[in-house]
Chain A
């Protein structure tokens, strides 16, 4: 019971937050933070634990988003069915993609995922009869008020947290880390590396798809340039995890909080606000150099540095 105390306490606080009567802007920030936490945790499973860095998670986010948009557009169903529709679709694409790109190692894998994200965006832009292309898809939001959305994304994030925790602490989790550390060693330990990489990719993709399906329902409008975006989705997911802590349980949540607030803050600055992506780039470089394991991962190092500075001052 004791080991579940921290997550349960955090969950209790989060569940109670809307009762404080926060204004809708703060609620919006909270919802985005939780959504990025979900996507970050999903990416972390593949990129952090299994070591397969994907620059193409917008592919899964976008497919999730379009699942919700398309069931509404073509079948006249509520876009909430997008969650259900996204799971088999994303799983299928991830499996197919895995068979091709997981044969590649290191930078080749990274480039292949990046290409797939872009290919899906361009496909989506050009299949105008099916997806309405760059016009995008508009849906009517179910609620104007944000509280419902807040609890829905919180529920999805809790689900993701539990799935990731169970996997990381099981045999699969050890296999993922073994693959990250040394694929040849993992193979010779009897680990079917292709199989377990495919599992990591598929689970990670399906969870990311849920975040995408939520996005459509929450924002009410999607277009390929946004939900399949390299800069605003694929790279932002990586930033969330890198800043917070690669292969840590709480890193994505911390990273999401920082990135969402930072994005809002920088964008509100006069003159340099438009260059927020450039500033993110600079931030990423700084993080990689000084805190390669992120804030959570490098916390012991960080604390020692701060203490030393405090002592000399």
Chain B
């Protein structure tokens, strides 16, 4: 069953097509990686799905229901959560309160929200940092806080925007385990990532964007053998 369908989506900024006729689906329970060179339109696509942008053309369907043009908070209430590439911690709130503020979405009582927060913090390995102000966290943990906060909204579908960028090898392994754990809980994941080792290790399928257009789609094996993809990343001479 398809969790998310992106139909003929285009996004224009003035004359520039950041996305052009992009068309693909994310199946329930899978991890789909969205890759492509800088400026390919990956984050723009996330913003169109999560409601920050209203796509110029095309549609987004979540579980068969059109969500195009809805506000981000509405889309989050439907069950789509996201993280940000440039982390947005609620700086002057503790780690615990950051996650608690998210958990209130589906748990209006304080007790219920605190239970969810505790569970999410243990799951993401941030429990020991719960009383720290989030602005004092090192980058690796701030990236994980993004994940924790999005999980606290108890989503069915998670958009991860470069959650691995800038992490050291030890932190990478922790984050890979977390994302596998998320999938085990039945959450569908779409992830933007540059780190090829991570992509190949965790994703079921890959969609490749270049200059706003989808140039390939397939399993990690298929993608790494695809000439067009290699050209997009390394330039034409190398691809030949």
Residues of A within 8 A of B (CB): 170-171, 174-175, 177-178, 181-182, 184-193
Across the interface, A189 reaches (CB within 8 A) one of B97, B105, B113, namely: B105
A193 to B52, CA, bound (A): 13
A187-B52, A188-B81, A191-B105 provided; 6 other pairs, C-beta below 8 A?
A171-B108, A181-B91, A189-B81, A189-B105, A189-B149, A192-B74
- Interface flags for B160-188 (1: CB within 8 Å of A; 0: not) read 00000000000000000000000000000
Check if A188 sits within 8 Å of B90, measured CB to CB: no
Check if A184 sits within 8 Å of B90, measured CB to CB: no
Across the interface, A190 reaches (CB within 8 A) one of B89, B92, B153, namely: B153
Check if A181 sits within 8 Å of B92, measured CB to CB: yes
Check if B73 sits within 8 Å of A190, measured CB to CB: yes
Q: Return B87 CB to nearest CB of chain A, in Å.
A: 9
A190 to B77, CA, bound (A): 6
B127 CB within 8 Å of chain A: no
B59 CB within 8 Å of chain A: no
Q: Return B82 CB to nearest CB of chain A, in Å.
A: 5
A189 to B77, CA, bound (A): 9
Check if A187 sits within 8 Å of B71, measured CB to CB: yes
For residue B72, which residues in chain A have a CB less than 8 angstroms away from its CB? 184, 187-188
Check if A185 sits within 8 Å of B90, measured CB to CB: yes
Check if B101 sits within 8 Å of A192, measured CB to CB: no
- The 20 listed contacts between A and B (C-beta, < 8 Å) are A171-B108, A174-B97, A177-B92, A177-B97, A178-B90, A181-B93, A182-B88, A184-B52, A185-B149, A186-B90, A186-B101, A187-B71, A187-B73, A187-B76, A188-B52, A188-B81, A188-B150, A189-B73, A189-B149, A190-B105
A190's closest neighbor in chain B, by CB?
Answer: B76
B213 CB within 8 Å of chain A: no
B113's closest neighbor in chain A, by CB?
Answer: A171
For residue A193, which residues in chain B have a CB less than 8 angstroms away from its CB? 73
A191 to B106, CA, bound (A): 11
B155's closest neighbor in chain A, by CB?
Answer: A190
B110 CB within 8 Å of chain A: yes
Interface centre among B73, B92, B153 (most CB of A within 10 A): B73
B84 CB within 8 Å of chain A: yes
Q: Which of B29-86 contact A (CB under 8 A)?
A: 50-52, 71-74, 76-77, 81-82, 84
A170 to B82, CA, bound (A): 24
Q: Which of B102-151 contact A (CB under 8 A)?
A: 102, 104-105, 108, 110, 113, 149-150
For residue B88, which residues in chain A have a CB less than 8 angstroms away from its CB? 182, 184-185
A192 to B88, CA, bound (A): 17
5 closest pairs, A vs B, by CB? A190-B76, A181-B90, A185-B88, A187-B72, A190-B105
Check if B93 sits within 8 Å of A188, measured CB to CB: no
A171 to B103, CA, bound (A): 10
Across the interface, B93 reaches (CB within 8 A) one of A177, A184, A187, namely: A177
